[in-house]
């Protein structure tokens, strides 16, 4: 069985900006352990000299001319914001 | 009139000859949706008023192309300007995009009439549509069964005759698997062939948009229209688009088919196996030859996929924070606001994958899980490259089973993941693949999967069309 602990799950939840009830943490610990256990099957393969694939197409440094073009108007950009103020996204104060 | 009896080209001829108006066509689509959608729940949002207004406007104009006035449904993770786009999530319940996806621009410039947005597993994470946070779509062939996922609504809508074609997206099989379950034609293009700009990202190195249609010919027409380089998607392929429709009506004599033993082995239903063997015999009759091959690393694909796709998802879904769009839940401070908005907005499967992905990318585990999975991805790609050096297509089932019952797998994520074992390797490798109907097992459709070299969609259409012409599978329709 896997090495995933409840504390690890709580730490990962915090990194992922998610919060869970005690019961949910229990359940996630259980389910994640199963999936991670399953993932260990990959260790059957010797990948010592294998290059990782990050992307299937060999594209890199796709550049374009730095031309000024029309962009979203502020009003449109803010259209879906749950809260806005003075033409900006509004969030709770982050400084005391 | 019924869309079951039509193709894009027959509809176009009728529009041109004034046998049918675009308004009538659009009304027919909404009528059929209203007759059937309380049973199959393919649509999340209808855009009836605007669609009919556009149809009336188009009736005053000259039908100058094949897509002119054709009604279509769009998966709800493809952004549509001014038309609610939820991704099947409560978190985006109120989201109204301010721009169109590139594929929408491509369809709109030909005057396609968008009738609405299609149901899906939340953020495209799922294989049954049961992860839609609204209502689970159902299979038109038997509404006790799932339509597949995540593009379940897109496949069900075509199978139910609601619209002539839809767009879906495929990250680990999300076009091909529901196409197989619903008895329709679904293509996942080569990675990079269709722009992802405006597709709400799940796993950026795997996601592709593709067409779902009733016939192979229609599928080729839709891909022709949406494929191509897009400066707004730096991962889109900057190479010329092939002429897909010229691949239709071709002879397949001499075609070399590879049948991986892993694709007809353990876990594949007898009924599915039988249909695939019949399809193989049919293709042989048409002049193809086949040999058994091996894709030895197939069995590692599901594990590698769930690590990679979840890792990419955990990063992509970080943008849903209750600040710029979506539903916001107030908190004591900014961090609390993020956590509350995300925890209440996302469903269980989405949270499960964000957690798995965050774990796989976290310090101390990155090399053991994420990087290891990337290396295994290389081995899986090499398997495909190796086989396709000597063969034109790889053939097998799209899914090991037919559509399962609603609720049958929903409590066991791992079992559900393993159902994607035949579609996932193709996304990891980036190749194109198509699912075409090849008959029934216990009253439910079976899908034949064909896989080709990167950018060889033409080969897929050539073989699939030859097979379709030689059989009657796409002519059968569900009783609804």
String of DSSP letters for B41-83:
--EEEE-HHHHHHHHHHHHTS---STTTT-EEEEETTB-BTTB
Closest CA to B121 of B349, B304, B418, B345: B349
Name the H helices within chain A. 6-15, 22-39, 74-77
DSSP state of B405: B
d(CA B361, CA B356): 9
Which residues of B are marked as active site? Answer: 75, 150, 174
* Cross-strand pairs, B64: none
Give the CA dihedral B312, B313, B318, B323, nearest 10 degrees: 140
The predicted structure's pLDDT at residue A1: 43
Give the pLDDT score at A2: 53
| Tokens describing residue B193 | 């062939």
pLDDT confidence of residue A57: 84
CB–CB contacts below 8 A, A to B: 155
Helix (H, G, I), strand (E, B) or coil at B235: coil
User: Residue B428's beta-bridge partner residues?
Assistant: none
Report the residue of chain B nearest A77, measured CA to CA: B98
* B177 alpha-carbon distance from chain centroid: 8
Question: What are phi and psi for residue B142, nearest 5 degrees?
Answer: -165, 110
Output the average pLDDT for chain A. Answer: 90
Q: What is the pLDDT of residue A32?
A: 85
> Taking a C-beta distance cutoff of 8 angstroms, is the pair B194, B214 a contact?
no
In A, residues 29-68, which contact B (CB 8 Å cutoff)?
31-32, 34-36, 38-39, 41-45, 47, 50-57, 59, 62, 64
ipTM of the shown complex:
0.94
Closest CA to B208 of B221, B231, B190: B190
pLDDT exceeds 70 at position A5 = yes
Residue-level pLDDT at B83: 98
B441 phi, psi to nearest 5 deg: -135, 120
Q: How many CB atoms lie within 10 A of CB A2?
A: 15
Cα angle, residue B155 at apex, residues B42 and B204 outer, rounded to 5°: 100
Cα–Cα distance between B378 and A54 in angstroms, integer? 9
Q: pLDDT tens digit string along A22-62?
A: 999 999 898 888 888 889 999 999 999 999 998 888 777 88
Residue B447 three-state SS: strand
DSSP code of residue B124: G
CA torsion B82-B86-B92-B93 (nearest 10°) is 80
What percent of chain A is modeled with pLDDT above 70?
A: 98
Whether B372 and A83 lie within 8 Å, measured CB to CB:
no
Q: What is the pLDDT of residue B418?
A: 78
In B298-431, which ranges are continuous DSSP H helix?
301-316, 334-345, 348-361, 372-388, 413-418, 424-429
Q: Compute the distance between CA of residue A84 and CA of residue B335 in angstroms, rounded to an integer.
A: 18
Work out whether strand B208-213 and strand B165-170 pair parallel, antiparallel, or are unpaired. Answer: antiparallel
Nearest to B362 among A12, A32, A83 (CB): A12
3-state secondary structure B319-332: HCCCCCCCCCCCCC
Among B219, B199, B184, which Cα is nearest to B75's?
B199
Kindly report each contact of residues A79-85 with a partner whose C-beta sits within 8 Å and lies 24 or more positions away, as own/partner.
A79/B96, A79/B98, A80/B94, A80/B95, A80/B96, A80/B98, A80/B324, A80/B325, A80/B326, A81/B323, A81/B324, A81/B325, A82/B322, A82/B323, A82/B325, A82/B326, A82/B327, A82/B328, A83/B328
**Across the 480 residues of chain B, what is the mean pLDDT of every consecutive 10-residue run?**
94 97 98 98 98 98 98 98 98 97 98 98 96 97 97 98 98 98 98 98 97 98 98 94 97 98 91 98 98 96 96 97 95 95 96 95 90 97 98 98 90 77 97 98 97 98 98 91
Contact predicate B53/B142, CB 8 Å: no
Task: Answer yes or no: are the C-beta atoms of B182 and B147 closer than 8 Å.
Answer: yes
Best B83, B96, B359 residue to mutate vs chain A (most A CBs within 10 Å): B359
A12 and B355 in contact by Cβ < 8 A?
A: yes
Region A1-13: mean pLDDT is 84
Q: Between chains, do B377 and A53 touch, taking CB under 8 Å as contact?
A: yes
- DSSP secondary structure code for residue B392 in this structure: S
Interface contact A41-B300, CB threshold 8 A? yes
Would you state the pLDDT for residue A92?
A: 92
Over range A82-96, report the average pLDDT: 91
Q: Which chain A residue shows the shortest CA-CA distance from B335? A: A17
CB distance B307–A32 less than 8 Å? no
Whether residue A50 contacts residue B371, with contact meaning beta carbons closer than 8 Å, is answered with no
pLDDT recorded at residue A28 = 87
Return all residues near B17 (Cβ < 8 A) that are at least 6 apart.
none
| CB-based contact B318 A17, cutoff 8 Å | yes
- Four-residue CA torsion sign, A24, A30, A33, A38: negative
Spell out the SS3 assignment of A55-70. Answer: CCCCCCCCCCCCCCCC
Nearest to A79 among B98, B307, B318 (CB): B98
């Amino acid at each position: 069985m896997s090495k995933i602990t409840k504390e690890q799950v709580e730490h990962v939840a915090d990194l992922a900006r998610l919060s869970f009830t005690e019961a949910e943490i229990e359940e996630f610990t259980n389910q994640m352990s199963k999936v991670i256990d399953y993932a260990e099957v990959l260790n059957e393969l010797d990948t010592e000299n294998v290059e990782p694939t990050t992307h299937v197409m060999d594209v890199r440094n796709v550049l374009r001319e730095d031309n000024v073009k029309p962009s979203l108007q502020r009003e449109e950009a803010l259209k879906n914001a749950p809260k806005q103020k003075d033409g900006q996204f509004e969030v709770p104060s982050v400084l005391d | 009139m019924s869309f079951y009896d039509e193709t894009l080209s027959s509809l176009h001829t009728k529009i041109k000859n004034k046998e049918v108006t675009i308004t009538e066509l659009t009304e027919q689509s909404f009528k059929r949706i209203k007759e059937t959608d309380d049973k199959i729940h393919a649509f999340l949002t209808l855009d009836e008023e605007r669609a009919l207004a556009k149809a009336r406007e188009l009736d005053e104009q000259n039908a100058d192309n094949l897509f002119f006035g054709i009604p279509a449904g769009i998966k709800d993770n493809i952004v549509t300007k001014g038309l609610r786009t939820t991704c099947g999530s409560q978190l985006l319940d109120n989201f109204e995009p301010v721009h169109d996806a590139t594929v929408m621009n491509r369809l709109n410039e030909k005057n396609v009439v968008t009738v609405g947005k299609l149901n899906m597993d939340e953020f495209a994470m799922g294989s049954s549509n049961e992860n839609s946070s609204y209502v689970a779509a159902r299979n038109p062939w038997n509404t006790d069964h799932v339509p597949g996922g995540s593009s379940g609504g897109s496949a069900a809508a075509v199978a139910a005759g609601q619209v002539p074609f839809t767009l879906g997206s495929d990250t680990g099989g999300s076009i091909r698997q529901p196409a197989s379950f619903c008895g329709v034609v679904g293509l996942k293009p080569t990675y990079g062939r269709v722009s992802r700009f405006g597709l709400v990202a799940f796993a950026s190195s795997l996601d592709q948009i593709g067409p779902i249609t009733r016939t192979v010919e229609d599928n080729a027409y839709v891909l022709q229209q949406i494929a191509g380089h897009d400066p707004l998607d730096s991962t889109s392929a900057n190479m010329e688009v092939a002429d897909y429709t010229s691949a239709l009506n071709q002879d397949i004599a001499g075609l070399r088919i590879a049948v991986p033993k892993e694709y007809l082995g353990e876990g594949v239903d007898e009924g599915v196996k039988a249909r695939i063997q019949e399809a193989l015999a049919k293709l042989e009759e048409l002049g193809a030859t086949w040999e058994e091959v091996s894709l030895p690393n197939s069995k590692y694909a599901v594990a590698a996929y769930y690590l990679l796709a979840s890792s990419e998802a955990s990063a992509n879904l970080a943008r849903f924070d209750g600040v710029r769009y979506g539903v916001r839940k107030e908190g004591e401070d900014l961090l609390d606001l993020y956590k509350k908005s995300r925890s209440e907005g996302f469903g269980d499967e989405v949270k499960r994958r964000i957690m798995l992905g965050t774990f796989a990318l976290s310090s101390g585990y990155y090399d053991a899980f994420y990087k290891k999975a990337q290396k295994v991805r290389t081995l899986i790609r090499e398997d495909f490259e190796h086989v396709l050096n000597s063969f034109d297509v790889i053939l097998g089932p799209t899914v090991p089973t037919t559509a399962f019952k609603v609720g049958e797998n929903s409590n066991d994520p791992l079992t559900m993941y393993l159902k994607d074992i035949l579609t996932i390797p193709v996304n990891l490798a980036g190749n194109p693949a198509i699912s075409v109907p090849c008959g029934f097992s216990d009253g439910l459709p079976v899908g034949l999967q064909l896989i080709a070299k990167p950018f060889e969609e033409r080969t897929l259409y050539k073989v699939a069309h030859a097979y379709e012409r030689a059989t009657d599978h796409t002519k059968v329709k569900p009783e609804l």
